């Protein structure tokens, strides 16, 4: 970090004083802030609110209390406990990083930002958060909350994700972060952005740094930081097949490790224009009888909308056999196993549990 100015000293002092009186001090990962616990919380909190994360975090830590437990677990179990949080690459990267930590560092986190940031799924800000919150290292962070606070306070124009804007924010973050109590300061800045300087509302009357805030002076709290450039999301369509055998088990297929729902279990997806029985015979080696269609719905990803149709089918025999490569299984939705399921798949399987009578399905 560079030499600190009186302005930076005063900024940090106000933020720390506010945090001592009004900040969050009893979040689950704060009670025992080891590098492992901080790491799990930071990954879960990426693009997810604290209130949503807390129950997932507590269940995850109960099952995987340390790096060794996470590294040794089957990926299916990790994804199962992650199901519902979304952005599943985060869970896959956690699992890979835990295995690297065991193989290369005997389960301990390295102590340099570059080494931590070299682990799967960990970038510059997350590495700094782990080392500052768990080990007190004097490293600035720049998560979404901190970006918003700094962009408003300094009047920085542009979308924070743009490289030039991001570089300015990093320079400012490093100039303002104190050399001592850096972890507390970083937590304070995250709390400030999460509770007062939020995306939709700026509670300037309670903000400790409002007196010299550029956005407050100019009345531009709603304009800064600039939002991500708007673009129209394309729409894709698919048809998910709920193929049931005589035991009311449903056929699931494991998704490829990369791409949407990577590594999760999903339903077979048939092109919407295809003849379903012919497709099942050709693609799956199964003869099926149609039982009815379920109500369609839309699932939205970061880059596109997915319109999902769903059809319920009954297994009538085998025209061949499924590939024996571990990529398929028959799943009982009424006695569910601990599998990582894509959210729309969980929704469709739940409909079978709540309404198993095919006469109730919309035809």
Residues with catalytic roles: 42
Residues 319/288, Cβ–Cβ less than 8 Å: no
CB atoms within 10 A of CB 242: 24
DSSP 178: -
Give the up-direction half-sphere exposure of residue 106: CA atoms within 13 A in the CB hemisphere: 0
Strand partners, 293: 311
Nearest one of 38, 19, 36 to 208, comparing CA atoms: 19
Residues with Cβ within 8 Å of residue 113, at least 6 apart in sequence: 124, 127, 128, 131, 137, 139
- In angstroms, rounded to a whole number, what is the distance separating the alpha carbons of residues 8 and 10? 5
What phi and psi values does residue 173 have, to the nearest 5 degrees? -60, -40
Residues 292/312, Cβ–Cβ less than 8 Å: yes
- In angstroms, rounded to a whole number, what is the distance separating the alpha carbons of residues 104 and 82? 25
């Amino acid at each position: 970090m560079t030499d600190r100015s009186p302005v930076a000293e005063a900024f940090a002092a106000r933020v720390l004083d506010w945090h001592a009186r009004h900040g969050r001090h009893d979040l689950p990962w704060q009670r025992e802030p080891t590098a492992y616990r901080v790491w799990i919380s930071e990954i879960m909190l990426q693009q997810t609110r604290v209130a949503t994360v807390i129950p997932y975090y507590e269940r995850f830590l109960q099952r995987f209390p340390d790096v060794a437990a996470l590294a040794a677990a089957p990926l299916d179990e990790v994804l199962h406990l992650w199901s519902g949080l979304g952005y599943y690459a985060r869970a896959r990267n956690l699992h890979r990083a835990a295995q690297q930590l065991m193989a290369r560092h005997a389960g301990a986190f390295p102590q340099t930002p570059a080494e931590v940031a070299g682990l799967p799924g960990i970038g510059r800000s997350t590495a700094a958060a782990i080392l500052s919150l768990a080990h007190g290292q004097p490293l600035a962070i720049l998560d979404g909350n901190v970006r918003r606070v700094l962009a408003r306070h300094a009047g920085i124009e542009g979308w924070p994700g743009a490289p030039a804007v991001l570089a300015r924010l990093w320079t400012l973050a490093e100039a303002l972060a104190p050399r001592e109590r850096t972890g507390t300061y970083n937590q304070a800045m995250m709390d400030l952005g999460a509770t007062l300087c939020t995306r939709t509302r700026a509670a300037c009357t309670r903000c400790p740094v409002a007196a010299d805030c550029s956005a407050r002076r100019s009345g531009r709290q709603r304009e800064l930081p600039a939002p991500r450039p708007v673009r129209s999301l394309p729409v894709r369509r698919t048809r998910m097949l709920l193929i049931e055998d005589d035991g009311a088990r449903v056929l699931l297929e494991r998704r490829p490790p990369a791409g949407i729902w990577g590594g999760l279990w999903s339903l077979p997806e048939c092109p919407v224009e295809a003849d379903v029985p012919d497709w099942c015979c050709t693609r799956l080696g199964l003869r099926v009888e149609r039982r009815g269609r379920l109500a369609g719905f839309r699932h939205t990803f970061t880059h596109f909308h997915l319109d999902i149709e769903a059809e319920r089918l009954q297994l009538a025999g085998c025209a061949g056999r499924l590939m024996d490569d571990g990529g398929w299984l028959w799943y009982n939705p009424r006695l569910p196993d601990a599998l990582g399921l894509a959210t729309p798949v969980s929704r469709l399987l739940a409909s079978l549990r709540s309404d198993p009578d095919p006469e109730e399905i919309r035809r």
